[in-house]
């Protein structure tokens, strides 16, 4: 009996080894399909980058065979660029000014050296600089922010770099503020609801969830960024308008600044892979718009405009087929 049991065990072990050998052969066989991990770097979950990143991950998974996409919440632009440079992501969201600072290696913006491995995948929607104050604060203009309590976004995030530029051009130093907080969107809103902050500056697409949440909870004022302030900063900042009724209680159009957003990738990514990813994204813009209204601002014809860095050859090939040039 013991001999029979031993023989059966040996047969089972041989079968397992055979199955493993076959699996290894299939995995290692030339041309065999393999999963390509595509990590999409976004921003905070209450912003626009995150829901759009989820939508992008979905279309990549559906339209690019053999991929295993994932989504990572981050502190947005600056962190995303550094992660791409370190090879820790395949697709990332960033603001154009952060991308320019990264390419130049501006240490004060959060870059220890010029980024050499980050390339553009395509332009997307613009970020609007949205300064929102509680009505009780008495803030009606950007000059009224002096002496007030304000959150300017996570430290050295794209939003915080926007805040430095906008407030600086308006003649307001951080030291002029009554209290300065470096908080993500959702946390800034919670403090405003609790009357611990007077205002928040958020750089995001129109209709961002955090400001919608705030406007539905307390009366707000959307503060104008005057054209003269924008002209003083210059490119890539543009004049823009937050349309009336974007948020509850905002009954009129509000002038502000906008900064283009880009998707970026690693220069080491294979041309065919980046081509397929770019095609999946820009051929399926309605799916992105369904995830967030900000994606309605993505235009294939504008995708190569104003990039501070070169485009990946795979992305450039896709846009060339669409008749789009830098």
Return the percentage of the chain with pLDDT > 90, whole number: 85
Superfamily of domain covering 36-125+260-321: Periplasmic binding protein-like II (3.40.190.10)
Residues 30-74 pLDDT 10s: 333 345 899 999 999 989 999 999 999 999 999 999 999 999 999
Domain boundaries, the chain: 36-125+260-321, 127-259
The predicted structure's pLDDT at residue 262 = 98
The predicted structure's pLDDT at residue 157 = 87
Average pLDDT of the residues in 210-233: 97
Statement: residue 1 has pLDDT above 90:
no
Residues 228-252 pLDDT 10s: 999 999 989 999 999 999 999 999 9
Statement: residue 172 has pLDDT above 50:
yes
The predicted structure's pLDDT at residue 222 = 98
Through-space distance between the first and last CA atoms of the chain, rounded to whole angstroms: 79
The predicted structure's pLDDT at residue 159 = 93
The predicted structure's pLDDT at residue 35 = 55
Place of tokens 């990946």: 312
Domain 127-259 in CATH 3.40.190.10? The answer is: yes
The predicted structure's pLDDT at residue 25 = 34
Q: Do domains 36-125+260-321 and 127-259 have the same CATH topology?
A: yes
Residues 280-289 pLDDT 10s: 999 999 999 9
| Closest C-alpha to 238, from 246, 247, 229 | 229
Average pLDDT of the residues in 81-89: 98
Strands (E), the chain: 36-41, 67-72, 91-95, 118-134, 149-151, 179-181, 199-204, 220-223, 238-242, 254-266
Query: What CA–CA distance (Å, rounded) separates 169 from 154?
Result: 20
Statement: residue 155 has pLDDT above 50:
yes
């Amino acid at each position: 009996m013991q001999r029979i049991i031993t023989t059966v065990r040996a047969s089972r072990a041989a079968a397992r080894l055979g199955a493993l050998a076959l699996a290894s052969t299939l995995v290692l066989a030339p041309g065999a399909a393999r999963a390509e991990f595509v990590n999409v770097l976004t921003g905070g979950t209450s912003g626009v980058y995150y829901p759009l990143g989820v939508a992008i991950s979905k279309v990549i998974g559906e339209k690019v065979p053999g991929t295993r996409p994932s989504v990572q919440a981050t502190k947005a632009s600056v962190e995303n660029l550094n992660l791409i440079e370190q090879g820790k992501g395949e697709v990332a969201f960033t603001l154009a000014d952060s991308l320019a600072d990264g390419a130049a290696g501006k240490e004060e913006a959060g870059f220890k050296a010029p980024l050499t491995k980050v390339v553009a995948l395509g332009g997307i929607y613009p970020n609007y600089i949205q300064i929102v104050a509680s009505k009780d604060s008495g803030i009606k203009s950007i000059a009224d922010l002096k002496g007030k309590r304000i959150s300017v976004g996570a430290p050295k995030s794209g939003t915080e770099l926007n805040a430095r530029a906008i407030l600086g051009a308006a003649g307001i130093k951080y030291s002029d503020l009554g209290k300065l907080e470096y908080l993500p969107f959702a946390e800034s809103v919670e403090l405003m609801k609790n009357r611990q902050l007077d205002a928040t500056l958020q750089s995001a697409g129109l209709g961002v969830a955090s400001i919608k949440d705030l406007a539905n909870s307390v009366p707000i004022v959307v503060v104008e960024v005057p054209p003269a302030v924008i002209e003083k900063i210059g490119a890539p900042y543009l004049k823009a308008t937050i349309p009336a009724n974007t948020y509850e209680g905002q009954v009129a159009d509000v002038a502000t600044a906008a900064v283009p957003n880009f998707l970026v990738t690693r220069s080491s990514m294979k041309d065919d892979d980046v081509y397929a990813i770019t095609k999946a994204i820009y051929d399926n813009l309605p799916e992105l718009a369904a995830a967030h209204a900000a994606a309605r601002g993505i235009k294939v014809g504008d995708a190569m405009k104003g990039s501070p860095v070169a485009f990946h050859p795979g992305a450039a090939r896709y846009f060339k087929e669409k008749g789009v040039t830098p």
